Structure 1
Amino acid sequence: MPGTDLSLLIDAALKAGDIATRYSGKEAKRWEKPDGAGPVTEADLAVNEMLEATLPAARPGYGWLSEETEDTTDRLTRSHVFVIDPIDGTRSFAQGSRTWAHSLAVCEDGIATAAVVYLPQRDMLFAAASGEGATLNGDPISVADIGTLADAEVLAAKPNLNSTHWRDGNVPDFGRAYRPSLAYRMALVAQGRFNGMLTLRPSWEWDIAAGDLIIREAGGLCTDRFGAPLRFNNPQPKLSGVVAGGKQFHTQISFALDPDSAGIPGH
């Protein structure tokens, strides 16, 4: 059941935080993944090792998808799957920043049903289960909607403001901010600190599965860049970007995006 899964994820996230914070980000051993896939540190691997030993043992019938585990097709045969990013924001971690997160989710038949985004160095634990609402450190949270896009504060990387992404080249006049962890960006929208977020490039499932549920349970909408609901445990675990926020924000930002701009680089 989602509630039971949520308790499992919360316990695992807290253990992950204990492990990761034993490392000094700047001093942790670091490698670059092949094909420009980004960095990985010994902390990522230590957290992943613990999670992979703990979570599947507690749920033997669940599949496993993690950024730091070689993927197999076995998960595609399972109705329930763990979708895990041991450390989201590894570059931030390696620079000694506190703005990185553990992102843990359970998905059932492609839909996230339990989720945790935990920032141990900021003492922020976001959590949600289907039909039970979203919380920050146990307190309920909800999205903050807007009247017009001009009123919105949006989390987005600067390349998303390239005019080629927007209908008739008109970039909406909203406030923009940025955080290096995609999971944290989504959690901040669920908290109501920002009205929305978007990333227009293909996005890995492990970066967004937990944030998707937390935003939806906080009363918001979360889709890909074309407005389709996010579904997880795909053979290629990547989705077509993310657009999320309050319902009015989502409607207005989705209309402003150029539906023919797919394939143009964005972040």
Structure 2
Amino acid sequence: MPAPDLQLLIDAALEAGKIATRFSGTTAQRWDKPDGAGPVTEADLAVNAMLEQMLPAARPGYGWLSEETEDSADRLSKDRVFIIDPIDGTRSFAEGSRTWAHSLAIAEQGEVTAAVIYLPLRNLLYAAAKGQGATLNTEKIRVSELGVLESAEVLAAKPNMQPQHWRQGQVPEFKRIYRPSLAYRMALVAQGRFDGMMTLRSSWEWDIAAGDLIIREALGRCSDRAGLPLRFNNAIPRLNGVIAAGSGVYGLLSEQLEPESPGIAP
């Protein structure tokens, strides 16, 4: 069942890359969304328009959830749903950086079953189907097996290191590194390039869905900040943060985190 869906997502991601790279990020038209929801560019909209035409046409029974499409409750009645971020890392795209990605996933009854994260300017295509492992450019990948937190390299934004996020206010020691695209951070953990990642704010499903499956199929662990499995296609498509790593670093991080967010950290 997942294999045909995965190939569909791969084909769609490659086409998305062709469209997005026709635009120059620094000269593409850009708008700010209402309520401080961040920027959107003409490239985001062009990619979204193509995906919204291509994917539902290929799977007419599937629901649709995308950052750049007005949400509809219709998806809640569907067993399977596309969860799409046309360009994850729009600010990076607009600045002319190469660290933005297309993030495409399919969830069935709340669980992601096929996923792709594609960085066209870096020629990196991460993919996974449930029960079939994870790949980078068709080569199998797996997470880091490190089990010592002090030696770990963890992808996280600086506000996540504030004491209120940690039990007894004790911030653990590890090397913090940052990449702007949340999807790319998750893919790098799946690849074993970094030992873990976390984001402690309430996070949109489309930023996380593809990375969740790719990490789990790379033999890693992925959950919300309270340690609960991630479930998708929620009525309000937000999750209580994300922690992802190999089993050793995951356990060390999760046991020291406060399970509920005291505020917002990017």
Both proteins in one fold, TM over 0.5? yes
On the 8 A contact 2:66/2:85 being kept in 1, the answer is yes
Task: Please name the residue that 1:249 is paired with.
Answer: 249
Asked if residue 215 in structure 1 is aligned to residue 222 in structure 2, the reply is: no
Say whether residues 1:55 and 2:51 are aligned partners: no
Segments of structure 1 that go 5 or more residues without pairing to the other structure are: none
3-state DSSP class of the match of 1:115? strand
1:65-121 CA-partner distances (Å, limit 9, x unpaired): 000000000000000000000000000000000000000000000000000000000
* 1:38-61 Cα deviation digits (max 9, x unpaired): 000000000000000000000000
In 1, distance between residues paired with 2:262 and 2:23?
Answer: 38
- Deviation of the 1:257 alpha carbon: 0.7
**What residue in structure 2 maps to residue 66 of structure 1?**
66
Residue 102 of structure 1 pairs with residue 102 of structure 2: yes
Question: In the aligned structure 2, how far is the partner of 1:36 from the partner of 1:266?
Answer: 15
Q: Distance in 2 between matches of 1:264 and 1:50?
A: 36
When structure 1 is superposed on structure 2, of 250-259 and 226-235 the one drifting more is 250-259
Counterpart of 1:74, as a letter, is: D
Look up the equivalent residue of 1:56 and give its one-letter code: P
Residue 136 of structure 2 aligns to which amino acid in structure 1?
L
Distance between the aligned counterparts of 1:258 and 1:240, measured in 2? 12
Partner Cα separation in structure 1 for residue 235 and residue 255 of structure 2: 29
Corresponding position of 1:183: 183
Distance in 2 between the 1:190 and 1:84 partners? 19
Task: Note the C-alpha offset of 1:133.
Answer: 0.2
Following TM superposition, where does structure 1 have runs of at least 4 consecutive aligned residues deviating by more than 2 angstroms? none
Q: What SS is found at the alignment partner of 1:160?
A: helix
Which amino acid in 2 is paired with 1:217?
E
Aligned partners of 2:41, 2:263: CA distance in 1, in Å?
Answer: 30
- Matches of 2:258 and 2:128, distance apart in 1: 32
Letter in 1 for 2:7: S
What's the CA shift for 1:266? Answer: 1.4
Deviation for aligned residue 1:145: 2.3
Equivalents in 2 of 1:118, 1:138: separation in Å? 12
User: How much does 1:265 deviate?
Assistant: 2.0
Identity of aligned residues (%): 69
Deviation at 1:221, TM superposition (A): 0.4
Count of residues paired in the alignment: 266
Alignment-derived partner of residue 263 in structure 1: 262
Question: Secondary structure, in 3 states, of the residue corresponding to 1:189?
Answer: helix
- Letter of the structure 2 residue corresponding to residue 65 of structure 1: L
1:138 matched to which residue of 2? 138
CA drift of 1:263 comes to 3.2
Deviations 1:206-255 (A, max 9, x none): 00000000000000000000000000000000000000000111111001
> Does 1:15 pair with 2:15?
yes
| TM-score w.r.t. length of structure 2 | 0.99
**In 2, distance between residues paired with 1:179 and 1:147?**
23
Secondary structure of the residue aligned to 1:135 is: strand
Once the two structures are superposed, the pairs formed by residues 115-264 of structure 1 within 5 Å of their partners are: 115-259=115-259, 261-264=260-263
- Inter-partner Cα distance in structure 2 for 1:140 and 1:147: 22
How far did residue 172 of structure 1 move?
Answer: 0.8
Q: Which runs of 5+ in 2 are unaligned?
A: none
For the residues of structure 2 that align with 1:79 and 1:196, how far apart are their CA atoms?
31
Report how far residue 148 of structure 1 moved.
1.7
